[in-house]
């Protein structure tokens, strides 16, 4: 049982390059999330997916797209990276109400855009 | 929209002492959940404790307990007998329990806690 896995762990991009961050969970959760963490800002929600086939914008969606490929996988894509997207990115999935909605987080991806 | 405020950016305490981290939130919802997450230097986010708003009894998990004051919209975390492994960033988080399929978390800005040997 690996929980939530993310790849890559580190990435450096040049402005304008694109990349996809991969996330997978093996806990059979319906809901999955992408957050970004910036110094002094806490974690902010980028996109979330309540179930396979559905996605919705969070607090800071501009510059990102997501795909809920299946129940296990939820990817985040940067089409044209900008220095403002330098951040640590976390994927998470959550339990249902009967287990108190606990969210499980991946180890994070540190992205630097130069 | 909900907001979560952690007014203590940094705190430090001697090992074995007790420390309390503050959190206030703003919401018009009546059904919600509150969480404390710990982020050690490894960067991994770990759930420390959870409180359902409809429960009057304060949650406890071993050395961790909360003081949930619903009317004051306050949710503080108390760590008793602090240990070196408690050194971490601590985030308070809010979840609206009324939106089925939308269990997203709103986080505070965090408190960096250092346990001094």
Residue B52 forms contact with A (CB below 8 Å)? yes
- In order, the DSSP letters of B84-98 are GGG-EEEEEEEEETT
Whether A82 and A113 have beta carbons less than 8 Å apart is answered as yes
Tokens 């974690």 sit on residue:
A43
Q: What is the pLDDT of residues B12-59, one digit of tens each?
A: 999 999 999 999 999 988 889 999 999 999 999 999 999 999 988 999
- For residues B78 and B92, what is the distance between their CA atoms, to the nearest angstrom? 12
- In order, the DSSP letters of B23-55 are -EEE-S-SSEEEEEEEE-TT---EEEEEEETT-
Q: What is the pLDDT of residues A56-90, one digit of tens each?
A: 999 999 999 999 989 999 999 999 999 999 999 99
CB contact under 8 Å between A33 and B104, yes or no, is yes
Count contacts between A and B (CB, < 8 Å). Answer: 58
Question: What residues in B contact A92, CB-CB < 8 Å?
Answer: 45
């Amino acid at each position: 049982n690996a929980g939530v896995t993310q790849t890559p762990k580190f990435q450096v991009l040049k402005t304008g390059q694109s990349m996809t961050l991969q996330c997978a969970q093996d806990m059979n959760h319906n809901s999955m999330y992408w957050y970004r963490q910036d110094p002094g800002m806490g974690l902010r929600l980028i996109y979330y997916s309540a179930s396979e086939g559905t996605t919705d914008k969070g607090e800071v969606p501009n510059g990102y797209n997501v795909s809920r490929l299946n129940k296990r996988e939820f990817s985040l894509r940067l089409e044209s990276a900008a220095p403002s997207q330098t951040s640590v990115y976390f994927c998470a999935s959550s339990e249902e109400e009967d287990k108190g909605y606990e969210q499980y987080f991946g180890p994070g991806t540190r992205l630097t855009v130069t | 929209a909900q907001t979560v405020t952690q007014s203590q950016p940094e705190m430090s305490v001697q090992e074995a002492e007790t420390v309390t981290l503050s959190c206030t939130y703003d919401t018009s919802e009546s059904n919600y959940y509150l969480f404390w997450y710990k982020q050690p230097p490894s960067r991994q986010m770990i759930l420390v404790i959870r409180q359902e708003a409809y429960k009057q009894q304060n949650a406890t998990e071993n050395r961790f307990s909360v003081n949930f004051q619903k009317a004051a919209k306050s949710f503080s975390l108390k760590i008793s007998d602090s240990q070196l492994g408690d050194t971490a960033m601590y985030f308070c988080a809010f979840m609206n329990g009324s939106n089925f399929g939308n269990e997203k978390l709103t986080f505070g800005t965090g408190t960096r806690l250092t346990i001094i040997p």
